[in-house]
Amino acid sequence: MKTIAEILKEIRPEFDFAASHDFIADGMLDSFDVVTLVAALDKQYGISINGTDIVPENFKNLQTIEALLCKSGVRL
Amino acid sequence: MNFTFHRKRISGLLAMVPANERSFLEEMKNFNFPESRSLKLKEVMGYDKHRIVEPGVCVSDLAVFGLEHLFRNGLLQRDEIDALILITQSPDYFMPATSNVIQGRLGLKHDMLCLDISQGCAGFVIGLIQAFLLLEQESVRKVILVNADVLSRKTSAKDRNSYPLVGDAASIAIVERDREDSVIHANLKMDGSRNEVLMIPAGGFRTPSTAETAALEDVGDNNLRARDHLRMDGSAVFNFVQVDVPPLIESLLTQAGVSMDSVDYFLFHQPNRFMLQKLADKMKVPYAKMPSNIVEHFGNSSGVTIPLAIAFNLAGRLKQDNYQVCLAGFGVGLTWSSMLMRLARLNFCELINYP
């Protein structure tokens, strides 16, 4: 199973996600990347992230994405 | 705001798409994005093909073409049109109303109402509400509801946020009284405080079009767009749809006393596949009951995606079958509106190419 970091790397291979605390503010993920990421996470974990949770705050860094997955029923 | 209508129906439906088909794979080179990112997006959003009018084609051209098709095939008589409602965001002119232009080009009778309504993605439902209201008048027996947009002409081909999605299309619905005691429920909401979420900033009286407003600007995310072009705050629109639409539908079904399971189809406006499937997940509606295949075949043609979805997915079955359908449109304004009705015994339901 791919890690969140690996999924992020597939979407934007040019960035070092481990070096950022805010992927959105640092310009590493735009709104379409977030859509691509959500689709990949849904597929990877067999879930459907709630549409109302698809807001920039939940995709700022690895911790917020993990928290979103937990909220969506994933046991990490 | 809730509405209830009795003894009204759609008796025929024609959808039209331009014959000119473009493909996302060919257009990818217009965008300043790595091919791999565009391909991922294609898969998620449903970008594939879209229909775009040739330069110079206007809404009245599509409407006249469709109405002449109906006259020629004996599906509608000129003299029986008591009202022509046109829903569009892309009129031929500021003035006169494009519905008057259509009336004049077709030589329709003078004893009728022509009415333009400026509405977008919720326009088909808003237009039906207006048509049903007109049919409360004894003198109005048949309303022609035309829903048409050619917004590709106002969308930057170098704006990856908008252009791959946009499609041009038109529909003509014949709306009249029903001999059976049918009941139609509808509701709508509007929030003008969010009017800037979807707009064409320049070209009206507030900011007239100039060489400056026509110049392409870098608007971030590697997209180029002019102020004369359609601008969409994608994140705000997405959030609006996910937050505001499910309670609208829940309220409609409660008002009608109908359960979610007894609705045969949820025929919603189709902005893109991802947004619609997230909506279906949230509402716990199976994807098979909420078609999301219009953007990939034709593009997003504002409110026309609803009649287009009906013609594309159900055309062969609507002459004999009877479906309880929930329609919903949501977009510019902001406006969101839904309707629960039966689609049955249509005299015709077709999808044709223009020209």
pLDDT digits (tens, 9 = 90+) for B231-282: 999 899 999 999 999 999 999 999 999 999 999 999 999 999 999 999 999 9
Of A32, A35, A51, the CB nearest to B242: A51
> What is the reported pLDDT for B59?
98
> What is the reported pLDDT for B286?
97
Q: Is B218 exposed, middle or buried (0-12, 13-18, 19+ CB in 10 A)?
A: exposed
- CA torsion, ordered B124, B125, B126, B127, to nearest 10 deg: 50
Q: What is the pLDDT of residues B268-286, one digit of tens each?
A: 999 999 999 999 999 999 9
Distance CA B201, CA B337 (A): 24
User: Looking at chain B, how many residues does it have?
Assistant: 355
Q: Which amino acid is at B254?
A: T
Rounded mean pLDDT of chain A?
Answer: 95
User: What domains are there in chain A, each with its CATH number?
Assistant: 4-13+20-71 (1.10.1200)
Distance CA B49, CA B152 (A): 14
> What is the reported pLDDT for B53?
98
Q: What is the pLDDT of residues B29-67, one digit of tens each?
A: 888 778 888 888 889 999 999 999 999 999 999 999 999
pTM, whole model, 2 decimals?
0.96
* Residues B314-322, mean pLDDT to the nearest whole number: 89
> Which ipTM value was assigned to this complex?
0.93
Stated as kind and residue range, the H or E segment containing B43 is helix B35-45
Q: In chain B, what residues touch A48 (CB-CB under 8 Å)? A: 278, 281
Q: Point out which residues pair with B22 in neighbouring strands.
A: B50
Cβ–Cβ below 8 Å for B161 and A32: yes
Of A12, A31, A51, the CB nearest to B279: A51
Statement: residue B220 has pLDDT above 90: no
Nearest-CA distance from B247 to chain A in Å? Answer: 13
Statement: residue B70 has pLDDT above 90: yes
* Nearest of B57, B133, B152, B129 to residue B337 by alpha carbon: B129
Cα nearest neighbour of A54 on chain B? B239
